[in-house]
Amino acid sequence: MWALTPLTEEQREVQRVARDFARAEIAPFSDEWDREQHFETSLVTKLGELGFLGMLLPEEFDGLGLDMLTYLVALEEIATVDASVAVMMSVHNSLPTQMILRWGTDEQKRRFLPPMARGEWLGAFALSEPDAGSDAASLRTQATRDGNCWVLNGTKAWVSSGSHSGVILVMARTDQPTDRRGPRGISAFIVTPDLPGFHVGKKEDKMGLRASPTVSLVFDNMRVPAANLLGHEGSGFIYAMQSLDNGRLGIAAQAIGIAEAALRQASHYAAERRQFGKPIKEFQAIQFKLADMATRVGAARALMHAAATAKDRGEQVTQFSAMSKLFASETAMWVTQEAIQIFGGYGYVTDYPVERLFRDAKVTEIYEGTSEVQKIVIARQLYSQS
């Protein structure tokens, strides 16, 4: 597989482990899980045993202590086989674990991170609400202090893995209706599903990523211990935005995995399928499509590797990760659509994998910020840099 910078020995080894795992433990079941909307909980345990749920966590918290590029290379391999498994891995590694690592107290880190790294508690991220999607700062879930608890009321929407999570990072308002403070009135809480008043709501019946449960979460006078506030009161929105800078790189890796799978499927099919007396790969119309697909996948991967390397150097990657997610997700959508065109009618039915890849690709242009939100982030950074 082509890469901008040669991968190190360690990175190639982690990539090989991810590829072997995906082929042996996921590939044989992916179609069935997609059809049945089945979330395979044993995968969480197996990924935990591999260390893949603590990829970015230091060894003192039972993590692998890897850098961003190595993590994304592994994530792309998983996504090439099953994008539903990839999003579970991406959200867990990029968002809740990183938020606790970065802003948690020593006690919070010791309590939550090791079981999360081992796959005993899957992590989720609850920012969006039914009426607060792109405009995340308009969220309305309210947290009110009562003694040594916060009482949370509200509904979160579109929570990936939310029905199977042991730890959920919830953004809620801690300002009061009489004194609204916009984004500065939002705080982050570490929530566990055993808290009284926690309910899993509607499970979405999705076009793609059908093996990844997406649910709403309802908090009905849910009492969260004050010790579960993350970092500073009023900083939750900033934490969420900073974490999404990482999360968006994970979604870029997922999108590139989907696009890579579509490219491989299409080039294989073009070599087998004969029309007008020869394999269709011998027609320039097909060659040009495959060439464009390969070029875009390579460019998306190069951008992602460059962004990850910048992150590993300690640079702020708000703009870079938005660019990477924007380009990778649009690449995934375009490449899977072209793959279906190469398959013709066979691409439109469930007997071949490209229709699932096409359905899975779409959401990468939507979640963790739509393509339009990525453009807002990129454009704003142009001015903040000048």
- Of 270 and 377, the one with the shorter C-beta distance to ligand CAA is 377
Q: How far is the CB of 236 from ligand CAA (least distance, A)?
A: 10
End-to-end CA gap in the chain: 37
In the Cβ-directed half-sphere of 42, how many Cα atoms lie within 13 Å? 4
Q: How far is the CB of 301 from ligand CAA (least distance, A)?
A: 21
Q: How far apart are the C-alpha atoms of 334 and 220, rounded to whole Å?
A: 42
Where helices occur in 104-235 by DSSP H, the ranges are 106-117
Q: How far is the CB of 137 from ligand CAA (least distance, A)?
A: 4
- Of 137 and 306, the one with the shorter C-beta distance to ligand CAA is 137
Q: How far is the CB of 368 from ligand CAA (least distance, A)?
A: 4
* Binding residues vs ligand CAA (CB under 6 A): 91, 125, 127-128, 134, 136-137, 158-160, 183-184, 237-238, 241-242, 244-245, 318, 367-369, 373, 376-377
- Of 61 and 125, the one with the shorter C-beta distance to ligand CAA is 125
- Please tell me which residue in 32, 36, 368, 372 is annotated as part of the active site: 368
Nearest to 125 by CA among 186, 167, 187, 83: 167
* CB-neighbour burial class of residue 24 (10 A; exposed 0-12, middle 13-18, buried 19+): exposed
Strand partners, 176: 179
Task: Specify the residue for token string 């880190």.
Answer: 109
Q: How far apart are the C-alpha atoms of 92 and 161, rounded to whole Å?
A: 9
Q: How far is the CB of 51 from ligand CAA (least distance, A)?
A: 22
In the Cβ-directed half-sphere of 155, how many Cα atoms lie within 13 Å? 11
Q: How far is the CB of 151 from ligand CAA (least distance, A)?
A: 24
Question: Which tokens in the block code for residue 283?
Answer: 């027609």
- Of 265 and 329, the one with the shorter C-beta distance to ligand CAA is 329
Q: How far apart are the C-alpha atoms of 37 and 194, rounded to whole Å?
A: 25
- Of 136 and 297, the one with the shorter C-beta distance to ligand CAA is 136
Pairing of β 167-173 and β 186-191 = antiparallel
- Counts of helices then strands in the chain (DSSP H, E): 12, 10
Confirm whether 120 is a catalytic residue.
Answer: no
- Of 93 and 160, the one with the shorter C-beta distance to ligand CAA is 160
What residues have CB less than 8 Å from 78, skipping those under 6 apart? 18, 21, 22, 26, 52, 85, 86, 89, 257
Enzyme catalytic residues: 368
